[in-house]
Amino acid sequence: MTRTGVAAWPEHLAQLYRARGYWRDRTLGSLPRQWAHRHGDRPALLDGDVTLTYRELAEKVDVLAVHLIALGLRGGDNILVQLPNCHELVLLVLACGRIGVAPVLMLPAHREHEMVAIGRHTEVAAIVTADAVRGFDHRALACRVAAEVPSAGPVLVVGGGAHRRDTSTVDFDMLLGGACDEADRARLAAATPDPGEVALFLLSGGTTGVPKVISRTHNDYEYNSRRSAEVCGFGPDTVYLVVLPAAHNFTLGSPGIIGTLMAGGRVVLLPSPSVAPAFEAIAEHGVTHTAAVPAVVRRWAEAAEELTPRLKSLRVLQVGGSLFAPELAIRARKALGCRVQQVFGMAEGLLNYTRLDEDDDLAARTQGRPISPDDEIRVVDTDGAEVPHGQEGELLTRGPYTPRGYFAAPEHNERSFAPGGWYRTGDLVRLDPSGNLVVVGRAKDVINRGGEKIAAAELEQLIATLPTVAEVAAIPYPDNELGERICVYVLPRPGHLPTLSDIEELFAERGVADYKVPERLRVVDVLPYTEVGKVDKKALCAKEAATATDVRPAG
Ligand code: AMP
Ligand code: DBH
């Protein structure tokens, strides 16, 4: 079944992308068998005590896909997935790709507020979650979400064996047992989706209060990952360490997990970027590549400066997600004794990498260039006119792995896409004489908190529901550790004094992800306005940047 709400590329471009070998008409679900053919008994995935070879990976993907069919899932269905970094997540994405079911990849930090909105928007037929992770009961969360999402069928729980008596959820681990027989293989063959169809949904940090979901097709995502692996020189000797959430486009396909597997390398999964376990894993498994956000790189560089001997195996540290200071790039390269590669990417598509044959200076001060000869980029002024070469402007893009619209969101698309299918990135960039892009700022109303994007409008809509608040504006304020944190300006209703705790309570009550909780509150009796009558956020940002103190109450 074809999903509605997915914007297609124009037919002549689809043909061109095929002719140029970008789109190979292979489904993500067909890849594990090809990999197994090539790499057989070599290890593919390491997750704690579990090691899966390429052959085992392919077998488990098929078994899981058969079980998903038996649970009633069909091509065209979407499922909500919230898993920590684990091999089951990788198996699930590939098994879904085998049968045309599209996983909607939530982050572990998401709660009811995000899960319900996105679950409804994508009309998910099932939810896959984990049992308790780091003390939080994801299973209970998923059950609450299922009750709020009319389309939601079964809740599948990874590590759900502890609740075997509970018939309201399905133990995911049971779906990985057994082997496929002839009839199963026929079932799988019959369920093979069209490679032009949606393979998975990624979330965008977004610019509005309503969720924005990005559909990625088999063709576009396979190319996204394969070409990334090529550009980054991944091969059978690549050992890629996952420390950021695997549901993130950076970790999943830039080149990430899928790119590593395509190259015949080995993926090592860790639950988080904590320094000690990460450094241990790098030493133990001979990790050659990993990907982190600048906030993590700072911690790693500090720790590595104290460390002897060096992390010898590490060749490339990929850094992306938010602005990365050149000084930190240089410091990280020295401290970790590896190349630093900048990645300027987006779940919406376009990926830029600094190249490994460029000098270290470019890798420190630019954010790289696109991966595809058919990635088109324009740098435009506020009227949409192209700026002179080398000048600053907003980056627009289109290309073979940049979808032409958000999923089922015509009103967002009107704003976020320019005529001709150009995605407005909201990023202010300039072209360096080297041909690489330099990200200089942002035109979109987003707060980038250590790589996590938060739409100011989402925060404002929530906070405006407080009876003590007359008007509210959410802005970023600079922070050494995370780059930016969240500041909220509030104009109170007469006689009221809203506090940060009021906002924290509201967010907890609504089940908003923790990383969106504001860390600074300014209660004011007047807000600055622009000529068109909007809150003048530029003025507020300038004011915040000038004040270094954190007014968060102690304790
Ligand atoms: P999302 O649309 O949520 O996938 O987030 C993508 C956005 O993250 C980009 O449009 C940029 O604003 C930001 N971003 C990603 N990588 C970088 C980078 N290397 N430097 C600066 N900003 C980045
Ligand atoms: O920030 C991002 O969204 C991002 C960063 C680096 C991304 O999506 C990517 C690489 O693929």
Residue 324 has pLDDT above 50, yes or no: yes
> Exposed, middle or buried: residue 299 (CB in 10 Å: 0-12, 13-18, 19+)?
middle
Of the ligands numbered here, which is closest to the C-alpha atom of 448? 1
277, 270 Cβ separation under 8 angstroms? yes
349-402 per-position pLDDT tens digit: 999 999 999 999 999 999 999 999 999 999 999 999 999 999 999 999 999 999
203-232 per-position pLDDT tens digit: 997 656 667 999 999 999 999 999 999 999
* Number of neighbouring beta carbons within 10 Å of residue 533: 7
Residue 493 has pLDDT above 50, yes or no: yes
Distance CA 90, CA 260 (A): 12
Q: Which of 377, 429, 453, 482 has most ligand 1 atoms within 8 Å of CB, for mutation?
A: 453
Nearest residue (by CA) to ligand 1, atom 9, is 346
Residue 452 has pLDDT above 80, yes or no: yes
Residue 453 in contact with ligand 1 by CB distance below 6 A? yes
User: Smallest Cα–Cα separation from 371: which of 258, 263, 288, 254?
Assistant: 254
pLDDT mean over 525-552: 85
390-431 per-position pLDDT tens digit: 999 999 999 999 999 999 999 999 999 999 999 999 999 999
Q: Which of 221, 240, 250, 423 has most ligand 2 atoms within 8 Å of CB, for mutation?
A: 250
Say what the pLDDT of residue 461 is: 95
> Exposed, middle or buried: residue 391 (CB in 10 Å: 0-12, 13-18, 19+)?
exposed
Q: What would the two tokens of residue 468 be?
A: 């003590």
Of the ligands numbered here, which is closest to the C-alpha atom of 256? 2
Of the ligands numbered here, which is closest to the C-alpha atom of 396? 1
Say what the pLDDT of residue 549 is: 53
Reported confidence tier of residue 554, pLDDT bands at 50, 70, 90: very low
Q: How far is the CA of 318 from the centre of ligand 1 (A)?
A: 14
Residue 323 in contact with ligand 1 by CB distance below 6 A? yes
> Exposed, middle or buried: residue 201 (CB in 10 Å: 0-12, 13-18, 19+)?
buried
> Exposed, middle or buried: residue 165 (CB in 10 Å: 0-12, 13-18, 19+)?
exposed
Phi, psi of 9 (to 5 degrees): -75, 150
pTM, rounded to two decimals: 0.96
Say what the pLDDT of residue 555 is: 33
217-276 per-position pLDDT tens digit: 999 999 999 999 999 999 999 999 999 999 999 999 999 999 999 999 999 999 999 999
Residue 439 in contact with ligand 1 by CB distance below 6 A? yes
